[in-house]
A = this chain, B = another copy of it.
Amino acid sequence: MDIRVNIDRLKQDLEELGRIGRDEHGGVSRPSFSPADFEARAWLKSKIEEAGLCYRQDGAGNQFGRIECSGTTVMAGSHIDTVPNGGMFDGAVGVVSALEAARRILEEKIPLARPFEVASFTDEEGNLVGDFLGSRAFMGLLGKDEIRNGKTSFGMPFRDVLKRTEFTAEGILAAHEQRPELEAYLELHIEQGPVLEDEAVPIGIVEKIAGKHYRQCAFIGESGHAGTTPLELRHDAFLGLADFALKATQHVATKHYGSMLTIGQAALHPGSFSVIPGRADFTLEFRSASAESLGEIEKEVFALAEDVASTRGLTFVSRIVDKTVPVTIAPRIVNLLEGECRTLGYPSMRLASGAGHDAQILAAGCDIGMIFIPSPDGISHAPGERVDWNDLEKGANLLLRTLVRLVS
């Protein structure tokens, strides 16, 4: 049947949600468990109930709206938290489009062969303890120590954050016990990259999601007076970092084309004009859609770091902070999405997702699928994040029709 979303209603929902947590820089600041996030959660609950879905929240704060039926559950969703000063579409389009799909399924009285559930996962952006807190809790993939003794990205013990909420460490760790058996999980998301726009294609069908390593690293040398220590006698930790950054980037760009390596943060110690840095702390992130490449990058990049350290009389240290494995999407879902695209007459292309998504966590328990729509100018995690409403309508229609195929 030729079922379509109501784009006006979808757009209105996104605009309402986008006003919650609006900040003075024109962006949306709605990190999980912030006052703005709780306001957005209340809004979503009322929307789910208004749509006639059965509302449920688990111990990790994941929110669900269910159309009951016997059998394994088909789920669709994403997240409504944002990075500080982020945009109004990252995550929100997936939750609101899944909600709209549920409303259309109910309005058209589609006969269900399986239950359908809308999902909104807590803290996909990792402002609390690592990315994907909610979906990892949902899948039973959290470490107890991380939840009981972890520190947030803003330096506060996670348990102190929890004290100001209705949630507890034990409740988060038990959230997965409330999980229904899953058939499949679909997620519509903005691409957060330039490929679809560059290719002028409105729909991306994700084939792979990159895995990543987050590491906190340092080169340790010797500080000294910048005016009296000859250049050739220095053990300048920052020059070690500079040397490593260029070599490692070059290595990944040439040997592992398509994989990414990023140094996003650095701090030099003691950190003044006239003291040679004795220590350079930095974050190291690398990503690849291939598990094999990810393993090779880890080995090769560390060998590079050790080589730079020994050449320059430095020490290299590193510890893992977070890690996800690459996911390959089940061919049956890719084929289903491509078939529906053809029926709808939407141009589409397959691509790999460099960004991480809740879907990759759910892949541990069911087949998943992801639909991307273009991000104008590739902008995300910023106030300038946008979507073309026509693209959103196409993405939401594809999500709806694929869900109908999966639940029927």
Contacts and interface: CB of A to CB of B under 8 A. Distances in A.
B287 A226 contact: yes
Contact of A232 (B214, B224, B253, B285): B253
A239 B285 CA distance: 14
B252 A246 contact: no
Interface in A111-165: 153
A273 B281 CA distance: 12
A345 interface: no
A255 to B, nearest CB: 12
A70 interface: no
Interface centre among A263, A273, A353, A381, by most chain B C-beta atoms within 10 angstroms, is A273
A283 interface: yes
Interface string A366-377: 000000000000
Contacts of A322: 273
Nearest to A195: B228
Interface string A238-267: 110111011001001100001011111111
Contacts of A276: 262, 264
Contact of A262 (B245, B252, B274, B285): B274
Interface residues of A, number: 60
A12 interface: no
Given A225-B193, A242-B246, A261 B231 contact: yes
Contacts of A354: 225-229
A271 interface: yes
A20 interface: no
16 contacts: A193-B229, A194-B233, A214-B274, A226-B262, A226-B264, A228-B354, A229-B260, A231-B252, A231-B253, A238-B245, A241-B242, A242-B242, A242-B246, A246-B246, A264-B273, A264-B276
